[in-house]
C-alpha cells in the first residue's frame, strides 16, 4: 500500500519510516508535519492509508481527519504516543472517520521490534478490510437448534466502524431510560480501548452500557458492546459468547458474524442497524436479516462519516429504511415500543 505519514515530531517520523521501509509490501507516499499540510497533500495525492498523529500544532489529527474524510477520503489509522492516555481524542477521531488507533513505534531496543509488529499488524488488518469484498460466513460450530428459555423480546443489533463512536452516542442519547429492548453493538475498535469506549458511551445515554461478556443474556435497558479480539456471537442458548472463527475476517469482531448468529439463535423479533464505516462488513448480514422478515435500518450518505458499509447495504437492498443519523434513535424507540406492545 501507498502510505502517508502525518506527524510533527522528527523522531516519530523516523521511527514510522523505518517500520514502513522494512516492509516490502508498503511504500511511503509522503510526509506532512501538521494537519494543515496533511489536508492539502491528501487533496493533491490521496494515498491508500494515512498514519495520523493526534496532537499537532495549527490543526490536530481529529480536525485533519474530519477534513480529509469530507474532501478526499481514504483510510486513516491514528498513530499516537499513548492511545490509552488520549482515548477521548481517539474516539473523536474515530467519530470523524478514522478506522483504528495504535501507539507510535519507538526506535529503542528491545521495544522497537514489538512496537513495529503492532503497527504493521494494524496496517495489515486495514489492508484486508479495504480489499475484502467477500461475504463473511460464520463457523459451523453452532448447532441449528435453540432452547425455549429465550423470551420473545425484540433485540436491537447495531454495527458500526469508522465514524461509529459519535454516531452511536447520537443514537443512544436519543433513547429513553424506559427503552424496552436490549441493544448489542459491534463497533470495529481495538480491544485495548473497548472498555474506554463503553465508559464513554455510558455517559451519553440513560441506558447502561457494558462490555459484552461470555454468558450474558441481552436484557432490556442495557447496551452490550463487543470488546476484545474475537468475534461476538449469540449462542444456541440465547447468550452472548466469543469465538475465534471464522479466522479470515478483515475485522474482529465482525458485524456479519454477529448478525448471522442472531438470525440463527434469537427467538424473538430483531431490528438490525448498520451505521457509518469503511468496507462492507455487516451489509450481507443485514440483508440476511431483512430476507428473513426482520426490520433493518441503514444510515444515509449525507450523515455518514464514511459511506462504505451503509452504501454496501443499500446496494444489496438490505435496509428496510435508509435514515439520517438523527432519525435513527427516534425510529428505534418507536419500533421497539410497537413491538413491545405486541409481545405484551
Catalytic residue among 161, 254, 261, 304: 161
**Angstrom distance (rounded) from CA 267 to CA 153:** 8
The single-letter DSSP state of residue 277 is: B
Torsion of CA 56, 92, 258, 118, to 10 degrees: 20
* 253 touches 221 (CB < 8 A): no
CA-nearest of 237, 235, 240, 243 to 222 is: 240
CA 122-281-76 angle, to 5 degrees, is 35
Is 60 among the residues known to form the active site?
A: no
Catalytic residue among 60, 190, 281, 300: 281
* 125 touches 99 (CB < 8 A): no
Is 161 among the residues known to form the active site?
A: yes
* 72 touches 42 (CB < 8 A): yes
**Angstrom distance (rounded) from CA 300 to CA 321:** 9
51: enclosing H helix or E strand: strand 49-52
Pairing of strands 222-225, 49-52: unpaired
Catalytic residue among 26, 188, 242, 295: 188
**Angstrom distance (rounded) from CA 343 to CA 333:** 15
Is 188 among the residues known to form the active site?
A: yes
Residues 6+ apart with CB under 8 A from 44: none
Residues designated catalytic: 161, 188, 281
Amino acid at each position: 500500500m501507498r502510505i502517508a505519514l502525518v506527524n510533527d515530531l522528527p523522531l516519530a517520523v523516523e521511527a514510522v519510516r523505518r517500520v514502513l521501509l522494512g516492509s516490502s509490501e508498503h511504500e511511503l507516499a509522503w510526509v506532512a508535519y501538521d494537519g494543515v499540510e496533511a489536508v492539502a497533500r491528501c487533496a493533491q495525492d490521496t494515498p491508500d492509508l494515512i498514519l495520523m498523529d493526534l496532537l499537532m500544532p495549527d490543526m490536530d489529527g481529529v480536525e485533519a481527519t474530519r477534513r480529509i474524510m469530507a474532501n478526499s477520503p481514504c483510510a486513516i489509522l491514528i498513530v499516537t504516543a499513548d492511545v490509552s492516555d488520549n482515548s477521548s481524542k481517539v474516539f473523536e477521531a474515530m467519530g470523524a472517520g478514522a478506522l483504528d488507533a495504535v501507539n507510535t513505534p519507538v526506535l529503542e531496543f528491545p521495544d522497537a521490534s514489538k512496537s513495529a509488529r503492532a503497527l504493521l499488524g494494524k496496517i495489515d488488518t486495514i489492508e484486508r478490510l479495504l480489499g475484502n469484498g467477500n461475504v463473511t460466513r460464520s463457523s459451523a460450530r453452532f448447532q441449528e437448534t435453540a432452547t425455549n428459555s429465550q423470551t420473545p423480546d425484540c433485540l436491537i443489533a447495531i454495527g458500526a466502524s469508522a465514524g461509529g463512536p459519535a454516531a452511536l452516542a447520537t443514537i443512544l442519547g436519543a433513547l429513553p431510560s424506559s427503552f424496552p429492548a436490549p441493544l448489542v453493538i459491534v463497533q470495529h475498535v481495538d480491544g485495548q480501548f473497548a472498555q474506554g469506549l463503553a465508559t464513554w458511551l455510558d455517559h451519553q445515554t440513560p441506558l447502561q452500557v457494558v462490555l459484552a461478556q461470555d454468558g450474558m443474556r441481552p436484557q432490556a435497558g442495557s447496551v452490550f458492546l463487543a470488546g476484545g479480539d474475537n468475534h461476538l456471537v449469540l449462542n444456541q442458548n440465547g447468550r452472548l459468547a466469543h469465538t475465534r472463527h471464522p479466522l479470515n475476517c478483515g475485522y474482529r469482531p465482525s458485524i456479519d458474524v454477529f448478525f448471522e448468529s442472531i438470525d440463527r439463535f434469537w427467538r424473538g423479533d430483531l431490528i438490525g442497524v448498520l451505521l457509518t464505516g469503511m468496507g462492507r462488513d455487516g451489509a450481507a448480514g443485514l440483508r440476511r436479516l431483512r430476507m428473513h422478515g426482520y426490520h433493518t435500518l441503514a444510515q444515509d450518505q449525507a450523515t455518514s462519516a464514511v459511506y462504505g458499509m451503509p452504501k454496501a447495504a443499500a446496494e444489496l437492498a438490505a435496509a428496510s429504511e435508509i435514515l439520517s443519523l438523527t432519525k435513527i434513535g427516534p425510529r428505534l424507540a418507536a419500533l421497539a415500543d410497537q413491538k413491545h406492545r405486541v409481545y405484551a
